[in-house]
Copies of this chain bind each other. A is one copy, B any other.
Amino acid sequence: MISRRALTTSCLPPTIRQLLSSRTASDPVQVNGWVKSVRRQKKVAFAMISDGSSDKGLQAVFTKVDLAKPLTNGCSVRLTGKLADSPGKGQDKELQVDQVELLGECDPAEYPIQKQALSVEHLRDHCHLRARTDEITAMIRLRDLASRSLCRYFEDQGFCYVHTPITTSSDCEGAGEAFRIAPPPSPDLPSSENPAEFFGRPAYLTVSSQLHLEALANAISRVYTLSPCFRAERSQTNRHLAEFWMLEAEWAFTRDIDDVCTVLEGSLRHVLKQAGASGEPVWTAGERARLPQLQAYADSDTAWPRLTYAAAVAELEAFHAASPRTFDFAPAWGRPLQSEHERWLAEHLARGPLFVTDYPAHLKAFYMRQNDAPGRDPRTVACVDLLVPGLGELAGGSLREEREDRLRGAMVRFGLGEEEYGWYLDLRRYGGAPHGGFGLGFERLISWMSGVENVRECIPIPRWAGRMLL
């Protein structure tokens, strides 16, 4: 009745990357990809073929020029031929084509991805096609590399990768920027009545996985996630998206904000080193000059500097007094650090990544742990922002208030009810352990590593206020 067949381990032909890195190349090979450019001469034609697996692409050589006739920019093809050492410049190997199969035509007059440089705005308008450009391909491959490196780091440190919910009953940061899920239309109800909530209560899209991670960290000690987060943020900046990805790690049995800095620094050094060592062509889109600088941060044999907020403000004030025209905003204790302050601290004071710790409590979220040990400023909380040159804030973390009475006090001050956050208090009531963690904006990391300034070009299909094309 059921016939058995032999087991096939793989059915996928090699990618261009795999072909170029393999040593045996005498057999006839099949190459699939898209035509990036065609150059026709009298006795020979050339085409650059890319399949997105490598930034190099592969040069195809047609000694039978007729074979190249149907090729246009953008079309997809299957070429059969021999891989050979290339006599030309710019590539080690080329494909000597014997056979061409046109898989998908592309009218070069209409094709939105032309060979010449295209504006960022044009590519955003065609974001379903923009991954066909070298720049966006490189960015997508960098995301792959960065997420893999981050995962390996946390795996090695005994962390467990977990999935936290996207739909949530609360607005974690209390900033009122959470998207709300509409109750489903209910044909059973008269239209005058409010339709029932699907979950029986209002539901939002998560702005951070942290609170849920805390529940899991208080059971399995070390957890992390790379998860989408959402903010109904209307400001149109280089650094904000309505939908973005965040690497968040949370762990129990830590009582010092220095530990949070150390784990965060360790994970970033690991990613930077992996990117440097990979030889991956991930830098096409950005300044290649940036790579040695990033490697220096990764290889530095002293820890990235750490400064309290109070000390940072003192530095800013001293500089502001000496050069009063540099900052638009005067720095002062108790005021938020502006972007211009953050960048000055990283770029001019530290000349590299800088941890700023122990901010005033009123500038930070309700769950951060009060600094009330002797010798600490009790107006501050045990938190940290990581500032980097060229970008400003890349990540933020804190110890979480694990003492039920103090957390309850903070919730009252922030106007948060027990009905919504009772479960969060429970985590403290039943064997709550001292714990902390951080969140790292994944698109900001990609922006920092690649030198691509706008985070809209650091995610394959971006979302921002007014923009959702597909």
Check if A7 is an interface residue, CB within 8 A of chain B.
yes
Interface string of A442-465 (1 = CB under 8 A from B): 000000000000000001110101
Contact among B1, B211, B218, B266 with A10 in the assembled complex (CB-CB below 8 Å): B266
A158 x B350 contact (CB < 8 A):
no
B162 x A220 contact (CB < 8 A):
no
A163 to chain B: closest residue by CB = B245
Check if A74 is an interface residue, CB within 8 A of chain B.
yes
A148 x B165 contact (CB < 8 A):
no
List, in ascending order, chain B residues with CB within 8 A of A205's CB: 166-167, 181, 205
> Number of residues in A with C-beta < 8 Å to the partner?
134
Interface string of A171-187 (1 = CB under 8 A from B): 00000000111101000
A468 x B169 contact (CB < 8 A):
yes
B302 x A5 contact (CB < 8 A):
yes
List, in ascending order, chain B residues with CB within 8 A of A256's CB: 11
A163 x B179 contact (CB < 8 A):
no
Check if A33 is an interface residue, CB within 8 A of chain B.
yes
**How far is B220's CA from A136's CA once the two chains are assembled, in angstroms?**
10
A78 to chain B: closest residue by CB = B253
Check if A340 is an interface residue, CB within 8 A of chain B.
no
The verdict on A199 contacting B165 (CB below 8 Å), with A128-B427, A252-B32 known, is no
List, in ascending order, chain B residues with CB within 8 A of A11's CB: 254, 256, 258-259, 262-263
The verdict on A140 contacting B160 (CB below 8 Å), with A6-B303, A12-B222 known, is yes
Interface string of A290-321 (1 = CB under 8 A from B): 00000000001111011100000001000000
The verdict on A215 contacting B129 (CB below 8 Å), with A137-B220, A200-B468 known, is yes
The verdict on A157 contacting B12 (CB below 8 Å), with A6-B302, A32-B253, A179-B182 known, is yes
- What's the least CB distance linking A156 to chain B, in Å? 9
Check if A329 is an interface residue, CB within 8 A of chain B.
no
